[in-house]
Amino acid sequence: MGFNVAGWSRRMKKIDGISCFSNTEGLTKMITQTDYLINLLPNTSATQDLLNYQTPSKLKRGAYVINVGRGQTLVDEDLIALLDNGHLSGACLDVFRTEPLPSDHQFRNHNKILITPHNSSTTQAESAARQILENYRRAISGKKLLHLVDMKHGY
């Protein structure tokens, strides 16, 4: 497609066509190469406030931040500072620390922030029924269930 894709996660992964990074050093290395940062991280003790002033300030000047993960991973005031000082060119936010986003929140009137509604999909009854039935079959036959939450890691 003409652009490089990189990803960062708790554990190192190998995905064809994607430069994969893990741990703190990996995050720093990935961030310094990034033009568009798309945050999909869950809210855990390890990710809360991860995108504070120090992390996005390592992005290339003029980079753009998209947050569709969890609002608690991004420090609001730090994002505003990086937008106002020109380091970041803009941000698209779908999730917030407080939801719904208060009507007087500074994000609402910032000219470099696009706010999107947090309703990217709906549950389709037929699809959900198939998944529930499949997990029921797995449960009664002693097989591992699909789509489990890892309670140890919080997602």
Residue type, 1: M
One domain, residues 90 and 140: no
One domain, residues 47 and 115: yes
pLDDT tens sequence across 75-117: 999 999 999 999 999 999 999 999 999 999 999 999 999 999 8
Respond yes or no: is residue 110 known to be catalytic: no
Give the whole-angstrom CA distance, residue 19 versus residue 32. Answer: 13
Boundaries of domain holding 55: 34-120
Respond yes or no: is residue 118 known to be catalytic: yes
CATH number at 74 reads: 3.40.50.720
Q: Can you give the pTM of this predicted structure? A: 0.82
Task: Please pick, among 11, 70, 108, 138, the residue that the annotation labels catalytic.
Answer: 70
Task: Please pick, among 10, 118, 138, 147, the residue that the annotation labels catalytic.
Answer: 118
The mean of the pLDDT values for the chain is 94
